[in-house]
Amino acid sequence: MDLRLDGKVALVTGGSRGIGRAIAAAFAANGARVMISSRKADALEEAASTMEGEVAWHAANAGDDEAAAGCVAATVERFGGIDILVNNAATNPYMGPIMGIDRARADKTVQVNQWAVLRWTQLAYEASMRDRGGAVINIASIGGMSVEPAIAYYNVTKAAVIHLTRQMAQELSPGVRVNAIAPGLVKTDMARALWEPNEQGIAKRLPMQRLGEPEDIANGAVFLASDASSWITGHTLVIDGGALLSGFA
């Protein structure tokens, strides 16, 4: 199975840390030219410096339409087009049951986690993928397939990402494939409050007996970006160590 991405151009949002950083590094290691984006220039510069291959960066708030357009334009200008878009950027400004969230934090969560997925895809499609085709990978969550109180509204937006993936896959076929990945609990800084207090206890409840690492998700992203998955679209790939099997999400 050939998972190489030679000759491809990839744009990864939220690419300075965690899952996005691991995906970008894996793409670059497999031959893609990569643009990473997030809000902070210093974090992007540091992340890019650790990756092999041709990796550039452009600071942009994923939920800002103007910034998104600027990043897409910069990617096309630097690399000549976009073949792979990874909508990974996410935020979670509210912890707790859904009945306690306020409008401001709900709006911010939707803006970054849900609207940005659609907007960045629109921009990449209009700027490049309409003509040259491509693959879009949306980072969802198994939380979008289950119910739990800790990050309730975040999970609502991730459920929306799963449906957006199917809708966009239908609309953009056959030229552009659109798939999603639904990670389980991965050891990232963003999810630290969920795993750090009881990592061993949580791991024991999972069939695979460990929490996820960013590289576990990156491996799935490389497959979905590669020609090895050329007949797969509208699919959500669950990578969760068996969490959904055990009723733990």
The pairs formed by 66-69 with CB atoms below 8 angstroms and a separation of 24 or more are 68/116, 68/119, 68/120, 68/123, 69/123
Residues with Cβ within 8 Å of residue 52, at least 6 apart in sequence: 25, 28, 29
Active-site entry in 94, 125, 153, 154:
154
- C-alpha 241/C-alpha 245 separation (Å) is 9
In 3D space, the residue among 180, 204, 202 whose CA is nearest the CA of residue 191 turns out to be 202
Structure tokens at 244: 């959904």
| Omega of the bond leading into 174 within 30 degrees of 0 (cis) | yes
SS3 157: helix
Q: Determine how β-strand 134-139 pairs with β-strand 176-183.
A: parallel
Other beta carbons within 10 angstroms of residue 237's beta carbon come to: 18
Active site residue 154: yes
Q: Say how many CA atoms lie within 13 Å of 196 toward its Cβ.
A: 6
Strands (E) across 121-210 are located at 134-139, 176-183
- C-alpha 43/C-alpha 46 separation (Å) is 5
**Residue 223 CA to its chain's centroid (Å):** 14
Report the catalytic residues: 154
